[in-house]
Amino acid sequence: MNKHDIELLIDYNYWANQRILDRAAKVSAAELVAPQPPGFSAGSLHRTLVHILSSEWAWRMRLQHGVSPGAALSAVEFPTLSALILRWNSEEQRMREYIASLSDGDLARVMTYTTIANPQERQHTVEHCLTHMVFHGMQHRSEAAAMLTNFGHSPGNIDVIYYLIEKGMT
């Protein structure tokens, strides 16, 4: 994988996030925080969105600054969807700036890090960490998409192939 490939994945990540956030803006405040049935890992649409943002932020902090956050972002920090979107827009800009600063060689760099859930040290390449971040986000965007669909606000197809089609890529 090279920088162009990572930029494509990151662009897809934020495209898919935006589709989810656009539809989330159509749910009521009560639906946003409504408890969901077992099977949805974060418990509500709001908490799911905060989890995705928190993960993106934590990976950027590890990769860009060598800092493994000791705690995830909290849903309490984002009492409204607007507050969450404002922070997400800022985080996206910072991540894109970080990605722009990388070279192909930087992607192969092995980094040592810990996660919030497991303080055991791990080592992976920058490329693998960024790829994980995108796929982790997709797992939880899928949950958010199911919740939104249940609320009558499906985000439609969020698969990477639909991103490529929309962008005119073959």
Please report, for the domain that includes residue 120, its CATH number.
1.20.120.450
Q: What is the pLDDT of residues 108-123, one digit of tens each?
A: 999 999 988 888 899 9
User: Mean pLDDT across the stretch 1-14?
Assistant: 97
Determine the structural domain holding residue 76 and report its residue range.
Answer: 3-166
CA atoms within 13 A on the CB side of 153: 17
Domains identified in the chain, total number? 1
User: How many distinct helices (H) and strands (E) make up the chain?
Assistant: 7, 2
The tokens describing 157, both together, are 């197809």
Q: What is the pTM of this model?
A: 0.96
| Neighbouring residues of 96: CB distance < 8 A, sequence distance ≥ 6 | 10, 14
Tens-digit pLDDT profile for residues 136-170: 999 999 999 999 999 999 999 999 999 999 999 98
Report the share of the chain in percent with pLDDT over 70: 100
Task: Please give the torsion angle defined by the CA atoms of residues 140, 72, 55 and 51, in that order, rounded to the nearest 10 degrees.
Answer: 20
